[in-house]
Structure 1
């Protein structure tokens, strides 16, 4: 079985330029180039999408329909992050082994679309 790569949905696959409008309302297009990147990655890895939307009624189905609309194919959409070799998320800080700088990194954190 292929190793798994987990992608967050909002801000990584869905451009999220309008912000959150509801679990089942996904108004924005994909991040430019993400469809092609996912196609390439799926040649080597199992691709799973996770989103907090999936915890709310209609959220998982909305994601699946949105991806179908844009022709984006993944192996699975899930509620909880499964074990993976890597997680791709727009709201993450890579831990570099030095906890002394974490508070500063958290306070200064901005997503790619907030910069």
Structure 2
């Protein structure tokens, strides 16, 4: 049995340079190199893609179509994060065990797409 790695869809797979356009509108290309990296990851882990888009069938279908169109193979697509060994998300702050200063990190946080 392989452990699971969870990847967020927007900003990790879908480059998200146009921002939010609705659950079924996914206009931007994939992040450069993401398909190849997912292929490498899948040799050791199950890869699950998670997106809030997937809370409707139309959104789920749009994510599936995008992945297929871009030849990106994953093991599952879900609307909620399952237990995993690691989560890859463009809107996450890695907690380092130190609570002091966490508010400052949150206030000043910018995803890579906004830098």
Query: Which category of TM-score, normalised to the shorter sequence, fits these structures?
Result: over 0.9
Return the alpha-carbon distance in structure 1 between the equivalents of residues 83 and 113 of structure 2.
Answer: 27
More moved, 56-65 vs 86-95: 56-65
Q: Residue in 1 aligned with 2:9?
A: 9
Return the alpha-carbon distance in structure 1 between the equivalents of residues 88 and 60 of structure 2.
Answer: 18
Matches within 5 A, 1:31-110: 31-110=31-110
Aligned partner of residue 59 in structure 1, secondary structure: helix
- RMSD, aligned α-carbons: 0.7
Deviation at 1:56, TM superposition (A): 3.3
Equivalent residues, number? 115
Contact 1:23 1:57 (C-alpha < 8 Å) held by counterparts: no
Give the TM-score normalised by structure 2. 0.98
More moved, 82-91 vs 57-66: 57-66
Deviation at 1:20, TM superposition (A): 0.8
Return the alpha-carbon distance in structure 1 between the equivalents of residues 79 and 107 of structure 2.
Answer: 28
Alignment gaps of 5+ in structure 1:
none
Return the alpha-carbon distance in structure 1 between the equivalents of residues 14 and 61 of structure 2.
Answer: 15
Q: Please give the per-residue CA displacement for 1:16-67, whole angstroms capped at 9, x wherever unaligned.
A: 0011111011000000000000000000000000001111341111000000
* Runs of 4+, deviation exceeding 2 Å: none
Give the TM-score normalised by structure 1. 0.98
Alignment gaps of 5+ in structure 2:
none
